[in-house]
Every structure is written in C-alpha cells, then in structure tokens.
Amino acid sequence: MSPPSRVGQGRCRPRAMHPPARTSAKIVVHLHPTSSNKDLGPFQSSIYSYIKLSFKEHGQIEFYRRLSEEITQRRWENMPVSQSLQINKGAQAGRIRAVGIVGIERKLEEKRKETDKNISEAFEDLSKLMEKAKEMVELSKSIANKIKEKQGDITEDETIRFKSYLLSMGIANPVTRETYGSGTHYHMQLAKQLAGILQAPLEERGGIMSLTEVYCLVNRARGLELLSPEDLVNACKMLVSLKLPIRLCVFDSGVMVIELQSHNEEEMVASALETVSEKGSLTAEEFAKLVGMSVLLAKERLLLAEKMGHLCRDDSVEGLRFYPNLFMTQSE
Amino acid sequence: MHRRGVGAGAIAKKKLAEAKYKERGTVLAEDQLAQMSKQLDMFKTNLEEFASKHKQEIRKNPQFRVQFQDMCATIGVDPLASGKGFWSEMLGVGDFYYELGVQIIEVCLALKHRNGGLITLEELHQQVLKGRGKFAQDVSQDDLIRAIKKLKVLGSGFGIIPVGGTYLIQSVPAELNMDHTVVLQLAERKGYVTVSEIRSSLKWEVERAKQVLEHLLKEGMAWLDTQAPEESQYWLPALFTELYSQEITPEEAKEAIH
C-alpha cells in the first residue's frame, strides 16, 4: 500500500503530532476488492482497503460479537434492493447507494485464524496448568480425608498450615471448616487491620455499617491487592474471638453489619421510637433521610423496633410505614 | 544399677509405645503436608511462568477469562475465593473482579430508589462501563455475573434472576420466591404485566396473582398504572428501556457512597 498523498487542502489531514497517552480500542474491518458490477459507494475511490472503528468509551466486545454474527448470517443479502439508503450529502445528493459491507469476511477470517493461533497456545498452556492444579486438588482431598480419619491426631498448627495451602490454591475445605472455621493467619491479621481501619468510619456513621459498605470502603482505600468478599466475611467472623473493638452481626433478614462493640442497637431503637413519634409515622426512606443513615440500615432498625414491640407497621401498596405501637404505651 | 519393679517398667514401656504410635500418626500427616508444600511451590512457579506469558490475554480477552473460570470450576478451584490466593496475586484476576464488585454495588445503590433494587444486566453493564471511564479495561456481561456471584456472601441480598434471554440483578434483601420470579419473567416481554395475563399464562387464581403483584409494589420494584385502558398495569422500572441512558444524578451517587 502506497503512503497517503496530499490530494488537496483539507482532504487529507496529517496525523496528530502528539499521539494521545492512551489509545482507545479498535476494530479493523478489512474489505475485499470491489466487484466490477458494484454500485457506487460513499466515496469514488480510496487508497485504504479497511475501515477502522474506534471505541472511545468501550462497547467493543459486544459490538465485535454482533458484527461477527452479522457477517456470518449475511442478512443484508436477503434484503430487497429497494431498501437501499438515500444519502444526501452536498455534491452527492440524490444518489442511491447499496447498503452493506462487501467481502469483509475473508480478511476477518484470516485475522481470526491468527488470533486463534495465539489463543490456542494460551489455551494449551492453560490446560497444562490446570492439569497440575488438579493434582493439587487431589492431594488436598487425600490429606483432608486423613485428617477426618485421625480426628484430634493432627496438631492445630498443621491444620492452620493446611488451611493456608487451601487458601493459596482456592480450594474449599469442607472438612476442617466445621472444626476450626475457614479462618487462617491471614484472616486473623486482616481482622486486626479492619478493627483499626474501621474505627473512625464507624464512629462517623453512628456506630454501624453494612458489610457491603465496608467492602466498598476498604477496597476503595486499598486501590490494589483488594479483598475478596469471602476474605472480608472470614476476617469479620474472627473479630469477636480476637476480642477486637468491633463485631459482626447478622439481622433476621440476612443483612450483615459491622458494629462498634460500644454500639447497642437496642438503645438506638429508643431514639428511633422518639423520632417516629415526633413525626407521627415514618417509612424507612423518610427515617433514613432524617437521621442520615443508609436506607438498608434504617429499615433494619425500624424492623428491630417493631420486633421489640415499640413500633407497628402499616403495610400497604404505598409502602411500609411505621407507627408508634400505642397498644403498648397506652394502658387500658 | 538397681532394677525397677516389672509393673512400673511395663507401664512406662507401654506409654512410650503409645506415644510413638501417636507420633507416627502425626508424622504421616506431616509427610503429606510437606509434600503439599513442595508441590505448592512448584505450582507457584508454573503459575508465574503462565502469568508472564498470558497475563495480558486474561486481562484483554473475555472469552479466555470464561474458559479460565470454567476450567477452574471443573477441577474444583475457585480463583476468586481470596485475594491472597495464587491466582489472584499472580494473574491479577482478583483485583479485576473485586473492583468490579465495588462498582456494581455503587450503581445498584444509586439506582435503587428508581427501580426498587432490580436492574437488568444490560442496564447495569452500561452504567458500570460509564462509571469506569474511557481508559479502563472493557468488561463483559459474563464478568459482571461472576462478580455478582461473589457479592452474595456479603449478605445484602445480591441475586441473579433469569428472565427472557437475559438476567435481572437483585440488590436488596427482599424475598423473591418462585412465584415472584415467574411473574417477573412474564413481565419482561412488555415491561408490564396485568392480572389477566397472569391468569391466562400461568393459570393462577386472582388472589395468588394479586399477592405477588402487591409484594412487588411494596418492594418498589413495580409501579401501578390504574389509568390503563382495560385494566391496571403493573410496570417494572427495571425493564424501562428508555431509562437506560439516563445518567446517575449527583444525589443518587451520594447515596451510593454514604
């Protein structure tokens, strides 16, 4: 292909002098040479035999998938000719052009074969790696069985070692979990770190945060080497046994929270009752806004207040509203 | 040397023998643990080599990621179980999915007041991509599903409901049983559903249909249109395709990082 030549002022723009620091993803669509009986297209001629699509804001994965599908299905070949587009563009007004991309598939196919070759090498290596990983899984199963057989004859130290091996490989440990839990030294350390990191945020939020909030907060702060959701849960399960100043609680709904040890949800219920009484009635959203809590935790507090008999619910299609429980407070 | 009594000596001997048996028991486990430790080191080296050649492939190629995940599942390994796992540390798969988890949580929280905590995978995908910005790596819908599966363990009600050819993602701890799910699937076609449609398609009695619809209304997942021509229509904001491109407002974003 010959280098582009200057056709005229404004027709051929020179490349930018300073390429951008990051380039966006591209899909290059290679075109077949045109057949002699083809209608005129948007351009009389071009020195390029390809179209480059640039994805500045992503979407290339799904686009590529659909484009490949269409190239394979070739639905445009079944469309009647009269459906061609009419493009009105200055000097080219009134011309009817056939819709469609001609003969891309050969080049796409070549490209796919090359990519496939790279991928198949990667897949091969991956398969070999998985074989080795499978051996590790088999070995861990046999050790787990041995541990089951010899209950108590394996030291705690060895159990901890075994669990950390399982953690590295990502193997679940059904045997030891019942006896010693899923925690390892790593999780113990993590629990202590969390107690330090979460002290201030908890105080700012009235002493309680949902586990999802904690997950986001901690991982946003870390930036790298993030915690998995399971890491977080396993570490939090050790908070109480390690006598740390924060603890993990689970509400009836399954919602999990971290609380300051000093936090007493039942005491908070008393003040919630006051707030609801002042306003007559409140929904979880209204209460959340008033008190400055997340809706999730606001709802849990109101539900707890209801469970303790301080609030009554009015559950209608307009929403769930809580009222002070006058049956309790007003004597016969 | 003065001989000890046979009795005491025999007992002492027996104790010694017992101790030796016990020792042997732990030695067996010790052997296997030592073997596992050695094999683990070897595996780590293999993984490092693999990572040096193919780490980019995993990062850039979503199909390769799927293949990788499927193979792990087949042999009984969860590469996303822990950030401390080899897979996460060396291939970087962990950070990719855990960060995605954070972004998913934030989008769901921001939009919860609009859709009651139900969102289509498509809309979630679009909003997450927007939030990630131009220079971040592209993510596929499969990636989102895997990240969401991991989030379930946090207890805030993340769930995946198959509807039509896609999925609805639940992000609130509302109870959605089979009845609710089936009605959601019915509603997916048009974005709304009526009592009559439920009766004719699912052959339920009116009471059952009404109970399900009321539950969805109460949870904020459905809106009631009583002005529809023939009968009331129950619309699902999660299925309003016109809302997809709507930006998350600053107020909504604030709720998310509360």
CA dihedral B215, B219, B225, B231 (to 10 degrees): -10
B40 in A contact zone (CB under 8 Å): yes
Structure tokens at B131: 């939030």
Are the Cβ atoms of A317 and B224 closer than 8 angstroms? yes
Q: Which residues of chain B are within 8 Å of residue A118 when distances are taken between CB atoms?
A: 57
CB-CB contact of B4 with A104 (8 Å): no
Residue given tokens 């009968």 in the structure block: B231
pLDDT class of A307 with cuts at 50, 70, 90: very high
Most A CBs within 10 Å, among B105, B124, B154, to test the A interface: B154
CA distance A134 to B243: 46
Q: What is the pLDDT of residue A152?
A: 54
Q: What is the pLDDT of residue A331?
A: 56
Mean pLDDT in chain A? 79
Q: What is the pLDDT of residue A298?
A: 93
Are the Cβ atoms of A58 and B140 closer than 8 angstroms? no
CB-CB contact of B108 with B117 (8 Å): yes
pLDDT, average across residues A271-297? 91
B24 in A contact zone (CB under 8 Å): no
Q: What is the pLDDT of residue A19?
A: 42
CA distance A66 to B215: 38
HEC per residue, A145-203? HHHHHCCCCCCHHHHHHHHHHHHHHCCCCHHHHHHHCCCCHHHHHHHHHHHHHHHHHHH
Phi-psi bin for A198: left (phi > 0), alpha (psi -120 to 50), beta? Answer: alpha
Q: What is the pLDDT of residue B258?
A: 52
Q: What is the pLDDT of residue A91?
A: 40
Residue given tokens 């290339």 in the structure block: A60
Which of B43, B79, B155 is closest, CB to CB, to A211? B155
Helix (H) or strand (E) holding A215: helix A211-222
pLDDT at A42 over 90: no
Query: What's the CA angle centered on B213, arms B207 and B219, to 5 degrees?
Result: 135
Structure tokens at A27: 């899909």
Residue-wise pLDDT tens digits, A239-249? 999 999 999 99
CA distance B39 to B32: 10
CB-CB contact of A252 with A303 (8 Å): yes
Q: What is the pLDDT of residue A282?
A: 94
Are the Cβ atoms of A130 and B155 closer than 8 angstroms? no
Residue B163 bridge partners (DSSP): B166
Most A CBs within 10 Å, among B61, B75, B107, to test the A interface: B75
B31 in A contact zone (CB under 8 Å): no
Least confident interval from A159-163, A254-258, B153-157: A159-163
Structure tokens at A226: 């993030």
pLDDT, average across residues A261-277? 91
Most B CBs within 10 Å, among A117, A153, A205, A212, to test the B interface: A212
Which of B227, B228, B248, B210 has its CA nearest to residue B110? B248
Phi-psi bin for A285: left (phi > 0), alpha (psi -120 to 50), beta? Answer: alpha
Residue-wise pLDDT tens digits, A83-127? 444 333 434 333 333 344 556 677 777 777 777 777 788 889 999
Which of B189, B193, B200, B185 has its CA nearest to residue B232? B193
Residue-wise pLDDT tens digits, A201-216? 999 988 999 999 999 9
- Pure H helices in chain B: 6-60, 62-75, 86, 93-115, 121-132, 141-151, 178-187, 195-202, 206-218, 250-256
pLDDT, average across residues A16-43? 69
pLDDT class of A217 with cuts at 50, 70, 90: very high
Please give the order of strands across the beta sheet that includes A208-210. A208-210, A256-260, A246-250
Which of B191, B203, B97, B112 has its CA nearest to residue B148? B97
CB-CB contact of A267 with A305 (8 Å): no
Query: What's the CA angle centered on A175, arms A172 and A181, to 5 degrees?
Result: 75
Q: What is the pLDDT of residue A321?
A: 92
Q: Which residues of chain A are within 8 Å of residue B151 when distances are taken between CB atoms?
A: 212, 215, 229
How many beta-carbon pairs under 8 angstroms link A with B?
223
Q: Which residues of chain B are within 8 Å of residue A255 when distances are taken between CB atoms?
A: 155-157, 173
Tens-binned pLDDT, residue by residue, of chain B (258 aa): 555 556 777 777 766 666 665 555 555 567 788 889 999 999 999 999 999 999 888 888 888 899 999 999 999 999 999 999 999 999 989 999 999 999 999 999 999 988 999 999 999 999 999 999 888 888 999 999 999 999 999 998 999 999 988 999 999 998 899 999 999 999 988 899 999 999 999 999 999 999 999 999 988 899 999 998 899 999 999 988 655 556 778 777 776 665
Q: What is the pLDDT of residue A14?
A: 37
pLDDT, average across residues A211-236? 94
Are the Cβ atoms of A62 and B86 closer than 8 angstroms? no
Which of A130, A219, A225 is closest, CB to CB, to B71? A130
Q: Which residue of B has its CA nearest to A22?
A: B135
The structure's pTM equals 0.73
Q: Measured in whole angstroms, how far is the alpha carbon of residue B180 from the centre of its chain?
A: 21
